[in-house]
Amino acid sequence: MNELALQVGQTASPEAMLFWILAPLTLAAALGMLLVKKAVHSAILMAFVMVALAVFYIAQGAPFLGIVQIVVYTGAVMMLFLFILMLVGVDSSDSLTETIRGLRPIAITAALGFGGLMVSLLGRATLGRGAVGVEEANAGGNVQGIAQLLFSTFVWPFEVVSALLITAALGAMVLAHHQRIQERPTQRQLSISRFRGDSLATAAGLPAPGVFARHNAVDVPALLPDGTAAAASINASLKARGDVLDSSRFELGTVDTSIEEEK
Partner 1 sequence: MNAANYLYLSALLFTIGAVGVVLRRNAIVVFMCVELMLNAANLSFVTFSRINGDLNGQVVAFFTMVVAACEVVVGLAIIVTIYRSRRSASVDDASLLKR
Partner 2 sequence: MMISNSLVYLIALPLAGAAILLLAGRRSDKWGHLLATALSASSFFVGLYQLSLMLGRPSEQRPVGQKLFEWISVGTFNIDAGLLLDQLSICFVLLITGVGTLIHIYSISYMSHDPDRRRFFAFLNLFIAAMLLLVLGDSYLNLYVGWEGVGLASYLLIGFWNQKPAYATASKKAFIMNRVGDMGLSFAIMIAFATMGTVSFTGVKAAAEQTSTAALTGIGIMLLVAATGKSAQFPLQAWLGDAMAGPTPVSALIHAATMVTAGVYLITRSNFIFDAAPTAQLLVVIVGAITLMFGALIGTAKDDIKKALAASTMSQIGYMILGAGLGPVGYAFAIMHLLTHGFFKAGMFLGAGSVMHGMNDEVNMRKYGALRKFMPITFVTFGLGYLAILGVPPFAGFYSKDMIIETAFNSGGIKGIILGSVTLLGAGITAFYMTRVMILTFTGTSRWDEEAHPHESPWLMWLPMAILAVGSVTSGYLLSHGNALVNWLSPLFESHGEHEELLSPIVVSALALAMVAIGVAVAFMKYSRNEVEAVAPTDVSIFTTIARQDLMQDHFNEAVFMRPGQVLTDVLVKTDEVVIDGAVRGIGRAALGSGASLRGLQNGFVRSYAALIFIGALALIAAIWVVVQ
Minimal distance in Å, beta carbon 256 to partner 1?
42
Q: Are strands 229-230 and 222-223 parallel, antiparallel or unpaired?
A: antiparallel
CB nearer to partner 2: give 114 or 158: 114
Q: Does residue number 106 form part of the binding site for partner 2 (CB under 8 A)?
A: yes
CB nearer to partner 2: give 91 or 94: 94
Taking residue 250's Cβ as centre, other Cβ atoms within 10 Å add up to 19
Question: For residue 215, what are the β-bridge partners?
Answer: 211
User: If contact means CB under 5 to 8 A according to the sort of partner, which of partner 1, partner 2, none does residue 4 touch?
Assistant: partner 1
User: If contact means CB under 5 to 8 A according to the sort of partner, which of partner 2, partner 1, none does residue 240 touch?
Assistant: partner 1
Q: Does residue number 110 form part of the binding site for partner 2 (CB under 8 A)?
A: yes
Nearest of 245, 253, 255, 236 to residue 215 by alpha carbon: 245
* Total residues in contact with partner 2, by rule CB under 8 A: 13
User: If contact means CB under 5 to 8 A according to the sort of partner, which of partner 2, partner 1, none does residue 86 touch?
Assistant: none
Minimal distance in Å, beta carbon 20 to partner 2?
27
Minimal distance in Å, beta carbon 249 to partner 1?
27
Minimal distance in Å, beta carbon 23 to partner 2?
22
User: If contact means CB under 5 to 8 A according to the sort of partner, which of partner 2, partner 1, none does residue 124 touch?
Assistant: partner 2
User: If contact means CB under 5 to 8 A according to the sort of partner, which of partner 1, partner 2, none does residue 69 touch?
Assistant: partner 1
Q: Does residue number 120 form part of the binding site for partner 2 (CB under 8 A)?
A: yes
Binding residues for partner 2, rule: CB under 8 A, are 100, 103, 106-107, 110-111, 113-114, 117-118, 120-121, 124
